[in-house]
Amino acid sequence: MTLHREGKNIMLWSIFSTVVLSGLIHYFLSECCPIVYWILQIGFLVLLGLVIQFFRVPNRTCAGESFDIMCPADGKVVVIEETTETEYFKDRRIQISIFMSPLNVHANYHPITGVVKYVKYHPGLFLVAWHPKSSTDNERSTFVVAHESGKEVLFRQVAGAVARRICYYPTEGQYVEMGSEFGFIKFGSRIDLYLPLGTKIDVAIGDVVKAKLTRIGKLN
């Protein structure tokens, strides 16, 4: 396991703040209020641990084959439905949404191999990630990758109520491989996928999924 580069500044500031606060409460509380002192010390260490674990990146090898659609993020499947995708395709697609809690790994990975056809960042609101309008009103970034079969898959990073920054790396025209990293969302958020109608789906609502390991479906 490694720590993600996007968390470098946050982790450094968290460590610095923990050291400073720990020193202050030691000076003011260690003798007069030992119970409060230890409660606060333990609380600061727990918070620091939560921040650091958020930026963890497990070592995994993508298990997908050529026509597989692999999970782009750790989390839980909260939506599987046929809907109209209005930004790029403007037609009916199968939407699959994966909610990432603050305890999940938040690195994001390409679900298929192909050529990046579309990249678009949208500033927006910070509704809770499971809100019905979060996919269209929240801060988000949208990507479309064309598979060698000619079929295209759209996937979208959606910021949540806690997440305030979306990081992404692909550019239009770039060739990307399934399981390669395309971005990171800081704190709670979700990923939406829009798949062609008729795609074989291998997950169900409520499933806990793992990036690069869980197969979402298979292109026909």
H/E element, 35:
helix 34-54
- Say which of 14, 97, 135, 189 is annotated catalytic: 189
> 8-29 and 34-54 helices cross at what angle (nearest 10)?
180
* Main-chain dihedrals φ then ψ at residue 160, nearest 5 degrees: -110, -165
With CA atoms as reference, report the closest residue to 100 among 131, 62, 73: 73
With CA atoms as reference, report the closest residue to 216 among 101, 56, 94: 94
Active site residue 189: yes
Q: Max CA-CA distance within the chain?
A: 71
Q: Which residues are catalytic?
A: 189
